[in-house]
Amino acid sequence: MWLSKSHRVLPGFHVGLGYTVTILTLLLILPLIACLFKVATLTPEQFFAAVWTERARAAYLLSFGASFVAAVINVAIGLLLAWVLVRYEFWGRRFLDSLIDLPFALPTAVAGLVFSSLLVKQGWYGQFLVPLGIKGAYSQLGIIIVLVFVGLPFVVRTVQPVLESLEGDTEEAAAMLGANRWQTMWRVLLPALQPSLMTGFALSFARGLGEYGSVIFISGNMPRKTEIAPVLIVARLEQFAYAEATAIAVVLMAMSLVSLALVNWLERRSRRYAP
């Protein structure tokens, strides 16, 4: 037995583990294996030809790049929002707080449509932005904007509880030791929030990688310019090139796993002070 014979308050470890493994297998591992089987019908040359075209590389780059930029923006905006919601008492705070979750519930296609109609030349935002040369609709910028929208709740919701648990006396202690506001922010508050910011970043980034619905409505889906990897997969499917589509999906998945593992590792490292 690999388990030490300790008595637990709640019995059923083996049942619980079996349950977990079964669910994970059914939901994650089997579909993944199915993908790999499908890809195995391709020869290595065919596989490489499918996943490493110029168009595919541009799509990976855009997917990862836009998700990364959107996640960075989300960390900044989300931190500020969480700060305001936690630290200040004002009329309508609870309403604002529940508004934060809206992107979770809203069909993302709706978000894509709304944002593209706002950002076109005649739209509310576009009428001011387009004359300045800022084209939000049908551009890479548009993709970043909708990814910021769909990823926003993640940062707010991960930072909020940590901010709530930070006692005010930590800041007071910093002030008593002679730190100015800036030093308190950089040396005391942000490092304390760093792990939760990293988590929020990872979630927002992952969400961006998987996002499809909103992006197709705002990006214009021009190959090599505004086509993200999931859109490329769908394009291949529409050509009945199922194996090629799956091959791109597998590459996207592998890249996602590697980048998420990296973020997770960074996150754990930043938590080293709390065993």
Partner 1 sequence: MSISICNISKQFGDFVALKDVSLEVPSGSLLALLGPSGSGKTTLLRIIAGLEQADAGHIKVQDEDVSQLSARDREVGFVFQHYALFKHMSVFENIAFGMRVRHLKDAEVRPRVNELLHLVRLEGLGNRYPSELSGGQRQRVALARALAVKPRLLLLDEPFGALDAKVRQELRTWLRNLHEEMHVTTVFVTHDQEEAFEVADRVVVMKQGHIEQAGTPQDVFDHPATPFVMDFLGHVNVFHGRLEAGQMHLPGFAMEYPEYQNPVSRDATAYVRPHEVELDRTPQLETSLPVRVVHVNPAGPVTRVRLVSDAFGAAINVDLSPGRYRELALRPGDQVFATPKRLRVFLPDDYVI
Q: Which is nearer to partner 1, 113 or 166 (CB)?
A: 166
Instruction: Return the range that interacts with partner 1 (CB under 8 A); candidates 48-56, 145-153, 167-175, 236-244.
Output: 167-175
Single out the residue of 10, 180, 238, 240 in contact with partner 1 (rule: CB under 8 A): 180
Residue with tokens 């901010």: 163
Q: Is 173 in the site for partner 1 (CB under 8 A)?
A: yes
Instruction: Return the range that interacts with partner 1 (CB under 8 A); candidates 28-36, 92-100, 149-157, 162-170.
Output: 162-170
Single out the residue of 188, 202, 203, 229 in contact with partner 1 (rule: CB under 8 A): 188
Q: Is 5 left (phi over 0), alpha (psi -120 to 50) or beta?
A: beta
Give the Cα separation of 84 and 163 in Å (integer): 10
Give the Cα separation of 14 and 1 in Å (integer): 12
Q: Is 259 in the site for partner 1 (CB under 8 A)?
A: no
Q: Is 273 in the site for partner 1 (CB under 8 A)?
A: yes
Q: Is 253 left (phi over 0), alpha (psi -120 to 50) or beta?
A: alpha
Q: Is 31 in the site for partner 1 (CB under 8 A)?
A: no
Single out the residue of 174, 198, 232, 248 in contact with partner 1 (rule: CB under 8 A): 174
Min CB(94)–partner 1 separation in Å: 22
Instruction: Return the range that interacts with partner 1 (CB under 8 A); candidates 38-46, 125-133, 172-180, 228-236.
Output: 172-180
Min CB(267)–partner 1 separation in Å: 14
Q: Is 89 in the site for partner 1 (CB under 8 A)?
A: no
Instruction: Return the range that interacts with partner 1 (CB under 8 A); candidates 41-49, 126-134, 187-195, 225-233.
Output: 187-195
Instruction: Return the range that interacts with partner 1 (CB under 8 A); candidates 11-19, 62-70, 163-171, 241-249.
Output: 163-171
Single out the residue of 45, 54, 89, 167 in contact with partner 1 (rule: CB under 8 A): 167
Q: Is 248 in the site for partner 1 (CB under 8 A)?
A: no
Q: Which is nearer to partner 1, 192 or 237 (CB)?
A: 192
Binding site for partner 1 (CB under 8 A): 167, 169-170, 172-180, 183, 187-188, 191-192, 194, 273-275
